[in-house]
């Protein structure tokens, strides 16, 4: 049985939709800084952004976990999500007919936008997440390939985790329980975004 993002959010977080930014709209979350001291836009810079993302991802998604890949696009850009979409091509044995599509309205900067959402249920081992993460890191760099400019979210249905890279600067990971995120908080503490460190430290320390 396929699970939509809305069903997942309603059941586990008592929310009917995701709001940006992810970190500020959930009780338990981490905001990770992906940038390093390497020269901006150098090969080493992008490699470090990708490597950090992969480590966080692989500490929250195991090979056999059931996951939901969520794509959001504005209809101002496209009327539909093509079968040849790059994201679809990175999911093994994807049956296009099994993809759950939904149209919705979104207010952004006081402007009403019509959007399309695609929910794809799979497992971590069937998703080429390296390529997808690489493409998300390249979001703001038109000369870099592969590149994704659509909104892409990974949802771990088993561990009740939501993971989103917003661009090369950082990522948000939120969870239903603080215990799920605590190992990442401890292991990768130096990568926590300094701007939100006080808030994050308070949440994790108060639960001790």
Mean pLDDT of 125-144: 98
**Confidence class for position 22, pLDDT limits 50, 70, 90:** very high
78-120 pLDDT per residue, tens = 667 888 899 999 999 999 989 999 888 876 555 667 889 999 9
Whether this prediction's pTM lies above 0.85 is answered by yes
Number of domains in the chain: 1
Cβ neighbours of residue 200 closer than 8 Å, sequence gap 6 or more: 29, 30, 31, 185, 192
Parent domain of 155 = 5-206
């Amino acid at each position: 049985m396929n699970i939509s993002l809305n069903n997942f959010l309603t059941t586990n977080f008592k929310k009917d939709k995701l709001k940006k930014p992810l970190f500020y709209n959930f009780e338990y979350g981490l905001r990770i800084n992906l940038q390093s001291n390497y020269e901006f836009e150098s090969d080493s810079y992008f490699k470090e952004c990708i490597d950090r993302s992969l480590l966080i991802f692989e500490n929250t998604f195991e090979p056999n976990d059931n996951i939901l890949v969520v794509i959001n696009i504005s209809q101002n850009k496209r009327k539909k999500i093509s079968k040849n979409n790059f994201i679809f091509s990175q999911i093994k044995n994807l049956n296009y007919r099994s993809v759950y599509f939904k149209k919705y309205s979104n207010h952004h900067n006081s402007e009403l936008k019509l959007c399309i959402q695609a929910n794809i249920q799979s497992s971590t081992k069937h998703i080429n997440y390296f390529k997808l993460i690489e493409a998300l890191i390249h979001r703001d760099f038109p000369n870099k390939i592969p590149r994704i400019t659509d909104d892409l979210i990974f949802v771990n249905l088993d561990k009740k985790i939501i993971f989103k890279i917003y661009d090369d600067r950082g990522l948000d990971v939120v969870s239903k329980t603080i215990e799920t995120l605590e190992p990442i908080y401890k292991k990768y503490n130096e990568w926590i975004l300094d701007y939100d460190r006080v808030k994050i430290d308070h949440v994790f320390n108060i639960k001790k």
